[in-house]
């Protein structure tokens, strides 16, 4: 079955540590996205990528980094510079038709908790 997988489902981090969240898709989509979800705030865009080896900052990129070395993979690193990293992180992908009508498909999410 085609889809998006995120791992791990739950992640615990000590303050000062960097952690990497995995996102893999087998939908052959060009575009991939990372969102952060906090209660009562909806989803906010962290980073997005339209093509391999290229990515752009979203609205809240500070304290995060990404890479896009393969079309199917878009890992997110939460660095120690992120002051409040506890949140639910969602990865998404879409066919990039060059318009803004594309449907984004979401993974099941990773819940990160800083201890």
Partner 1 sequence: AQSVTQLGSHVSVSEGALVLLRCNYSSSVPPYLFWYVQYPNQGLQLLLKYTTGATLVKGINGFEAEFKKSETSFHLTKPSAHMSDAAEYFCAVSPMNTGFQKLVFGTGTRLLVSP
- Give the residues lining the site for partner 1 (CB under 8 A): 4, 31, 40-45, 48, 50, 58, 90, 92, 94, 96, 98-109, 111
Of the pair 31, 67, the CB lying nearest partner 1 is at: 31
Cβ within 8 Å of residue 47, ≥6 positions away: 33, 34, 55, 56, 57, 58, 61, 64, 66, 76
CB of 16 to partner 1, least distance (A): 27
CB of 99 to partner 1, least distance (A): 7
Burial of 70 per CB tally in 10 Å (0-12, 13-18, 19+): exposed
Of the pair 2, 42, the CB lying nearest partner 1 is at: 42
CB of 80 to partner 1, least distance (A): 26
What's the CA gap between 56 and 52, in Å, rounded? Answer: 12
Of the pair 58, 63, the CB lying nearest partner 1 is at: 58
């Amino acid at each position: 079955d085609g889809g998006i997988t995120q791992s791990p489902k739950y992640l615990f981090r000590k303050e000062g540590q960097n952690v990497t969240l995995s996102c893999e898709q087998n939908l052959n989509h060009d575009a991939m996205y990372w969102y952060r979800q906090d209660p009562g705030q909806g989803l906010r865009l962290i980073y997005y990528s339209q093509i391999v080896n290229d990515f752009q900052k979203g609205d809240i990129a500070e304290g995060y980094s990404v890479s896009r070395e393969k079309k199917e993979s878009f890992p997110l690193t939460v660095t120690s510079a992120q002051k409040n990293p506890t949140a639910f992180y969602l990865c998404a992908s879409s066919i990039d038709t060059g318009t803004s009508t594309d449907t984004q498909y979401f993974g099941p999410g990773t819940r990160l908790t800083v201890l």
